[in-house]
Chain A
């Protein structure tokens, strides 16, 4: 099996680590699995990294959880984690550093965290108003989707700004 460059372990007899224990610098994120989602495990890992990038939990230079730590905490096949990390690398989001691990190269977040918090607050305010007006969750989702579509059609849409914003400069400060 092709083992990730980061797993420097066995040569020095540095094993073992207890199940679930992490040594060394911790990654800003932890993976979790949703067995009911029907989404293949490797894809869940990919999506969670992308999600964390969008929300600013991960920024360029951050390290992803080490393969053996993911394997130890979730009890999943190391090939699965390697497949997810390969896919993230193919997408240009991460890069492997020999002997160290996998690190974030690009960002998907378009704005800084404080600004995100402000938008989140105003959206919560709007949701409270919708709720007070009697809209249920499905109604709110339908309205939001519909307005987003209108917004995009009027040319103000996010479509042209979507995508990988490369480079350290655009990371969350």
Chain B
């Protein structure tokens, strides 16, 4: 089942497109990292998925074909917007009460048990909690709805390293326990490298890279060799980005799965997810999308981490 499917999806605010020509199929069971620079359209895409806004062009469906905003979508998706949206003047207990009454399904026992384990006092005003506790409370309220898809928009932007680790651990544990699929947006890639097994790179409102992390890492290489020969090979190979010194050059290439021979005098190295994303960010014209030739891999399950 695809948790999100978009076709030619676009959103225009006034005269500028926040998102355009977005075509995606995200299989379930993954933690999807939605990355890209600020203003790339990450929040717009997520808002379309959770029906906080409507498309200007194209279509989007969730959880295997449901329309965003439909009952199936509302029940099956939990969303945590940026900066852990809580009513700061309400107590934790009041937030629990409120959330339970606003949703058709809410596991009160789970929520209370989890808050107890986190030592978050029910009587405290949410505004008085630490940043990490606020993020954990927002996550708890979302998970207690027992969603099939958890959507998190920049959830860790204001957290210290320990709070980030604990937050990610909580998300990963929910994934292990319930098999919930997760889409998490961030402009900090490094911390997602260990947790994400599917990557979407958005730049200037368009999808530049999409795919299972394992597939992406397996289909890219860095070739290092004499700078003088770089141009000759660049013409033959699918080069995403070139870094070149006086004598030596590094070509980040896309191999398209085939074990392409390494030219003699050159060395091939595997790439990291961060290196790969940076290369694409520096080359807005390059793209790595599941093309027509890869339809057989529509639901990749391999992971590289």
Q: Chain A: residues with CB nearer than 8 A to chain B?
A: 1-4, 7, 9-10, 13, 15-21, 33, 35, 38, 40-42, 67-68, 71-80, 83
B19 to chain A, nearest CB (A): 27
Cβ B169 vs Cβ A19 within 8 A: yes
Q: Please judge, given known A-B contacts A16-B173, A40-B304, A78-B176, whether A1 and B28 are in contact too, CB under 8 Å.
A: yes
Count B-side interface residues using an 8 Å CB cutoff: 34
A35 to chain B, nearest CB (A): 8
Q: How far is the CA of A77 from the CA of B168 in the complex (A)?
A: 9
Cβ A16 vs Cβ B113 within 8 A: yes
Cβ B176 vs Cβ A76 within 8 A: no
| Closest A residue to B170 using CB positions | A19
Q: How far is the CA of A28 from the CA of B203 in the complex (A)?
A: 46
CB neighbours (8 Å) of A72 from chain B are 169, 172-173
Cβ A13 vs Cβ B110 within 8 A: yes
- Chain A at the B interface: mostly helix, strand, loop or mixed? loop
Cβ B165 vs Cβ A42 within 8 A: no
B133 to chain A, nearest CB (A): 13
Cβ A77 vs Cβ B169 within 8 A: no
Cβ A80 vs Cβ B177 within 8 A: no
Instruction: Flag B168-193 by CB within 8 Å of A: 1 or 0 each.
Output: 11101101111101000000000000
Q: How far is the CA of A13 from the CA of B111 in the complex (A)?
A: 12
Cβ B179 vs Cβ A1 within 8 A: yes
User: Does B279 belong to the interface (CB within 8 Å)?
Assistant: no
Other than the given A73-B169, A78-B176, 5 more pairs (CB < 8 A) read: A17-B117, A77-B195, A77-B197, A77-B303, A79-B301
Q: How far is the CA of A46 from the CA of B305 in the complex (A)?
A: 12
Instruction: Flag B280-305 by CB within 8 Å of A: 1 or 0 each.
Output: 00000000000000000000011111
User: Does B49 belong to the interface (CB within 8 Å)?
Assistant: no
CB neighbours (8 Å) of A33 from chain B are 194
User: Does B196 belong to the interface (CB within 8 Å)?
Assistant: yes
Which of B170, B195, B272 sits near A76, CB closer than 8 Å? Answer: B195
Cβ A79 vs Cβ B177 within 8 A: no
Task: Name 7 interchain pairs, CB-CB below 8 A, sorted by A.
Answer: A18-B117, A19-B170, A71-B176, A73-B169, A75-B169, A77-B194, A79-B301
Q: Chain B: residues with CB nearer than 8 A to chain A?
A: 28-31, 107, 109-110, 113-114, 117-118, 165-166, 168-170, 172-173, 175-179, 181, 194-197, 272, 301-305
Q: How far is the CA of A78 from the CA of B180 in the complex (A)?
A: 11
Cβ B178 vs Cβ A10 within 8 A: yes
Q: Please judge, given known A-B contacts A80-B197, A83-B303, whether A16 and B172 are in contact too, CB under 8 Å.
A: no
Cβ B197 vs Cβ A79 within 8 A: yes
| Closest A residue to B146 using CB positions | A10
A88 to chain B, nearest CB (A): 15
Q: How far is the CA of A67 from the CA of B29 in the complex (A)?
A: 15
B132 to chain A, nearest CB (A): 11
Q: Please judge, given known A-B contacts A41-B305, A75-B195, whether A7 and B177 are in contact too, CB under 8 Å.
A: yes
| Closest B residue to A20 using CB positions | B169
CB neighbours (8 Å) of A2 from chain B are 29, 301
Q: How far is the CA of A83 from the CA of B165 in the complex (A)?
A: 22
A128 to chain B, nearest CB (A): 39
Q: How far is the CA of A17 from the CA of B113 in the complex (A)?
A: 9
A79 to chain B, nearest CB (A): 5
A91 to chain B, nearest CB (A): 17
